[in-house]
Chain A
Amino acid sequence: MREFGYQQVSDVETAVATLATSADARYLGGGTNLVDLMKLGVETPELLIDVTNLPLTDITETADGGVLIGAAVRNSDLAANPVIRQRYPAVAQAVLAGASGQLRNLATTGGNLMQRTRCSYFTDVSKPCNKRVPGSGCPARDGEHHNLAILGASEHCIATSPSDLAVALVALDAVVHVREGDSARAVPLTEFRRLPGDRPDLETTVEPGALITGVSLPGLPIAAASRYRKVRERASYAFAIASIAAAVEVSGGLVADCRIAWGAVAAVPWRATRAEAMLRGKPVAIESFAAAADAELLAAEPLEHNAYKVALIRNVTVELLAELTGVSR
């Protein structure tokens, strides 16, 4: 690990200004991903700005009936929050499906959205990786990729985002609040992270040095019955091989409204807008759910070892939608 300076800050302005003083500084939240990557030599900051003491540790209800989650709210506090548990159960479930009790006590909301891929080529500096060293190549395409992307990937990168939380948030129309220089900006989570394209090293759409200050969820009645389902190789303490957050509103036997997002299938938490569009107005039935999943999966480009994920995400989508609507298979 490279040597680095360390600084604590107590207000957002100082945090952003301090970062700007260094060519290679990072904000330090819980450290569960950053410190991990620093040990591996993937991240080599010269300065860490500890943002855990910023006044961003509250979860507050907003005027529109939604909530604003401070960026420094620890995962465990987010999942334990009564408002989140009752009005956005998928968010609590997604957090609890991730990592371990110890890690959730450290990891922050903002940090979770910045989590980097767990692709084994990205995390090993002795190997090429376009995300880590642009232009060095992507060995994953012809190598080990059984848990890499089937959607939105490019020839340059097939990484997946490992976040569970982001999947639930993106399904429920979350907005990311960032501070860029002197100005504050709100970015829908659907637009916050970038697909790899020809620049897999660029992961977000915000300016370098931007600081996440919070995430807001709108007042969304449908969210109260939302659910998160995660499939993983181990029964716990493992990253997803597929996950889904969904909510469905049924009226007169038809789907009046729905929210669907997938995890572990793309570099971003994947909002399944085509599936949602396909499903709205359709009868509540297995066939409708399958057709919706298939509509989204038209864009899938699986490789040799991750083709199973197409069937997997389709099956788990049908299963969760059936569960949410009380349809038996």
Chain B
Amino acid sequence: MTRSSLSSSFTVTVNGEPQLLDLDNRTTLLDALREHLDLTGAKKGCDHGQCGACTVLLDGRRVNSCLVLAVAAQGRSVTTIEGLGTADRLHPVQQAFIDHDGLQCGYCTPGQICSAVSALDEVDRGWPSAATADVGAEKITLDDSEIRERMSGNLCRCGAYVNILAAINAVAQ
């Protein structure tokens, strides 16, 4: 193994902008965002896919960016919380989290919001969940237990779950 083969140059599209990166192969997508692109909205709560704080959208789907090697995301498109909405143009899910106080310390919040955006999209696509009584059914009825189950990959130690549920319900209406 030569030293040069231990790092890679590649392009990832982040929030619509192509980013040329030259990174140690060990760099995760999460660390690439936080340490190299100064996009610190995606958080590192566990670094092992056990909390969901690092959730971003990869080609439109929610993923734990701490378990994606940046080099393996080459050529793909990443949307982070910063790309979802800004202070003067909030995404409806961001607005709903404010309206329903779906956050306390805020550390899990960007991941919760990215996850919620993607979860609602999954429902639209008719994807079932562990809360779906009949996985064979074509259409999903989005009730509270569906939302709770679909959001369970995002831990919140402050316990904002009740309000997160309310926020997502409000957007889903």
Do A and B touch, yes or no (CB under 8 Å, in the complex)?
yes
Given A4-B26, A92-B128, A237-B152, do A102 and B55 touch, yes or no (CB 8 Å)? Answer: yes
- Bound-complex Cα distance A3 to B126 (A): 41
B1→A46 contact, CB < 8 A? yes
- Bound-complex Cα distance A36 to B155 (A): 18
Closest A residue to B25 using CB positions: A6
Instruction: Answer yes or no: B69 CB below 8 A from chain A CBs.
Output: yes
Q: Which of B72, B127, B136 has the most CB of A within 10 A?
A: B72
B25→A35 contact, CB < 8 A? no
Closest CB-CB distance, B120 to chain A, in whole Å? 11
A36→B136 contact, CB < 8 A? no
A5→B25 contact, CB < 8 A? yes
- Could you give, for residues 54-87 of chain A, a 1 whenever the CB lies within 8 Å of some chain B CB and a 0 otherwise? 0000000000000000000000100110100110
Q: Which of B132, B135, B152 has the most CB of A within 10 A?
A: B135
Closest CB-CB distance, B89 to chain A, in whole Å? 25
* Chain A count of residues within 8 A CB distance of the other chain: 38
Q: Which of A50, A76, A86, A105 has the most CB of B within 10 A?
A: A105
Instruction: Answer yes or no: B125 CB below 8 A from chain A CBs.
Output: yes
Chain A contacts of B71 at CB under 8 A? 6
- Please tell me which stretch of A93-101, A246-254, A300-308, A310-318 contacts chain B, meaning at least 4 of its Cβ atoms lie within 8 angstroms of it: A93-101
Instruction: Answer yes or no: A277 CB below 8 A from chain B CBs.
Output: no
Instruction: Answer yes or no: B130 CB below 8 A from chain A CBs.
Output: yes
Closest B residue to A237 using CB positions: B152
Closest CB-CB distance, B24 to chain A, in whole Å? 7
- Bound-complex Cα distance A86 to B136 (A): 5
B25→A32 contact, CB < 8 A? no
A80→B61 contact, CB < 8 A? no
Chain A contacts of B48 at CB under 8 A? 36, 39
- Bound-complex Cα distance A82 to B62 (A): 21
State which residues 35-58 of A face B: CB under 8 Å. 35-36, 39, 46-48, 50, 52
Instruction: Answer yes or no: A138 CB below 8 A from chain B CBs.
Output: no
A97→B130 contact, CB < 8 A? yes
Closest A residue to B148 using CB positions: A236
| Option from B8, B24, B64, B135 in Cβ contact (under 8 Å) with A102 | B64
Instruction: Answer yes or no: B5 CB below 8 A from chain A CBs.
Output: yes
Chain A contacts of B153 at CB under 8 A? 99-103, 237
Instruction: Answer yes or no: A235 CB below 8 A from chain B CBs.
Output: yes
B135→A106 contact, CB < 8 A? no
Chain A contacts of B136 at CB under 8 A? 85-86, 89
Chain A contacts of B129 at CB under 8 A? 96, 101
B128→A79 contact, CB < 8 A? yes
- Bound-complex Cα distance A47 to B122 (A): 34
* Chain B count of residues within 8 A CB distance of the other chain: 44
Chain A contacts of B128 at CB under 8 A? 79-80, 85, 92, 96
A96→B135 contact, CB < 8 A? yes
Q: Which of B6, B49, B132, B136 has the most CB of A within 10 A?
A: B49
A50→B72 contact, CB < 8 A? yes
B1→A101 contact, CB < 8 A? no
- Could you give, for residues 137-150 of chain B, a 1 whenever the CB lies within 8 Å of some chain A CB and a 0 otherwise? 01000000000111
Closest CB-CB distance, A94 to chain B, in whole Å? 10
| Option from B8, B62, B152 in Cβ contact (under 8 Å) with A105 | B62
Chain A contacts of B138 at CB under 8 A? 82
- Could you give, for residues 45-88 of chain B, a 1 whenever the CB lies within 8 Å of some chain A CB and a 0 otherwise? 00111001001001001111001110110000000000000000
Chain A contacts of B109 at CB under 8 A? none
State which residues 86-137 of B face A: CB under 8 Å. 115, 118-119, 122, 125-130, 132, 135-136
Chain B contacts of A4 at CB under 8 A? 1, 6, 25-26
- Bound-complex Cα distance A5 to B26 (A): 9
A85→B64 contact, CB < 8 A? no
Instruction: Answer yes or no: A240 CB below 8 A from chain B CBs.
Output: no
| Option from A1, A103, A235, A236 in Cβ contact (under 8 Å) with B64 | A103
The 10 lowest CB-CB distance pairs between A and B, nearest first, are A100-B153, A236-B152, A5-B5, A96-B130, A80-B127, A3-B6, A105-B61, A237-B152, A6-B25, A92-B135
Apart from the given pairs A96-B128, A103-B67, 19 other A-B contacts in the complex at a CB distance below 8 Å: A6-B71, A30-B67, A31-B69, A76-B61, A80-B125, A80-B126, A85-B135, A89-B136, A97-B130, A101-B62, A101-B115, A101-B118, A101-B122, A102-B52, A102-B62, A102-B64, A103-B49, A106-B68, A237-B155
Seen from chain A, the residues whose Cβ lies within 8 Å of a Cβ on chain B are: 1, 3-6, 28, 30-32, 35-36, 39, 46-48, 50, 52, 76, 79-80, 82, 85-86, 89, 92-93, 96-97, 99-103, 105-106, 235-237
Can you give 6 contacting A-B residue pairs, CB < 8 Å? A6-B71, A52-B72, A80-B127, A82-B138, A93-B130, A103-B67
